[in-house]
Homo-oligomer: A and B are copies of this chain.
Amino acid sequence: MSPNRPSLTTERLEALSDGVIAIAATLLVLEIGRVELRDDESLFHAIIDLWPSLTAYLVSFTVIALIWVAHHSMFERISSVDRPLLFLNLALLLAIGFIPWPTSVLADYIDEGGTDAAVATALYSLTMTLIGIVFVGMWAHLVRHPERTDGVTEAQLRRSLRLAAVSPVVYGVTIGLAFVSPYLCLAVYAGLAVYFARGPSARAMLADQADDTTSG
């Protein structure tokens, strides 16, 4: 098999991953649920009161989109999949497919205040921490097995590993922070999203950056 194009398994695993990612993101909308009015409540106020569900949709859809960017960026460098990569990737999909549930718990309880709001936020942070750890595991495996990648130096792989480690560390901190202020956690999630949107995994897959490099 040519080292310059991904193997069939790599393509199929990426297609399966894209499928699960697209479905998990699109299922998020079901979490918002039907709007039911209480007594003389107006629909307008009922929709405003749903802000936690609407925010949770926004946050989780954005997170899943950034996971897609990170995953796609990683697989652009992988030329063949071995058993640890296969099962780490399946574990990643298991965790991504799970996101709609902590999202609905977060939406239902962040507005309740007290320990329940903290637990809901901590559950969300825990899910994201686990996803981050699996990503770190995949990059660590690639650092030890650079022959599974294609045209990537070990220094670049180590750099990707360090950058990937930011996610579980920050999300891990928000597990504790949830018990201080759930809303502060939401702000950290937003900050992390901006960091990754501006970051190197998005850059790696984009034509403008590649052009910059070529012409630089």
Q: A208 touching B97 by the CB < 8 A rule? A: no
Q: What is the CB-to-nearest-CB distance from A184 to chain B, in angstroms, rounded to a whole number? A: 19
Q: How far is the CB of A127 from chain B (nearest CB, A)?
A: 11
Q: A104-B34, A108-B34, A108-B35 are in contact. Are A21 and B16 (CB under 8 A)?
A: yes
Indicate whether A140 reaches chain B with its CB closer than 8 angstroms: no
User: Is the Cβ of A81 less than 8 Å from the Cβ of B116?
Assistant: no
B26, B90, B203, B208: which contacts A27 (Cβ < 8 A)?
B26
Q: Known: A23-B19, A148-B207. Is A94-B82 also a contact (CB below 8 A)?
A: no
Q: How far is the CA of A59 from the CA of B23 in the complex (A)?
A: 19
Q: Please name all residues of chain B whose beta carbon is closer than 8 Å to the beta carbon of A143 when the two chains form the complex.
A: none
Per-residue CB contact flags for chain A residues 56-71 toward chain B (1 = under 8 Å, else 0) read: 0110011001001100
Asked if A188 CB lies within 8 Å of chain B CBs, one says no
A187 interface residue, CB < 8 Å from B?
no
| CB-based nearest B residue for A96 | B26
Copies of the protein in its oligomer:
4
A 168-216 contacts with B by CB, 8 A? 197, 202-203, 205-209
Q: For residues 119 through 170 of chain A, which have their beta carbon under 8 Å from a beta carbon of chain B?
A: 119-120, 123, 148
A97-B29 contact in complex given A42-B116, A72-B9, A202-B83, C-beta closer than 8 Å: yes
Nearest-neighbour CB distance to chain B for A60, whole angstroms, equals 10
**What number of A residues sit within 8 Å (CB to CB) of B?**
70
Pull 15 A–B residue pairs with CB atoms less than 8 Å apart, ordered by A: A7-B207, A12-B18, A16-B22, A24-B26, A28-B97, A30-B100, A35-B104, A35-B108, A35-B109, A43-B116, A44-B119, A65-B94, A80-B207, A82-B206, A148-B207
Residues from chain B with a CB closer than 8 A to the CB of A9 are: 72, 205-207
Q: How far is the CA of A58 from the CA of B97 in the complex (A)?
A: 11
Can you add 17 more A-B contacts, CB < 8 Å, to A1-B207, A28-B97, A42-B116?
A: A12-B14, A12-B72, A15-B15, A15-B18, A16-B68, A18-B19, A19-B19, A19-B23, A19-B26, A20-B22, A27-B29, A29-B99, A30-B30, A37-B116, A80-B207, A83-B203, A83-B209
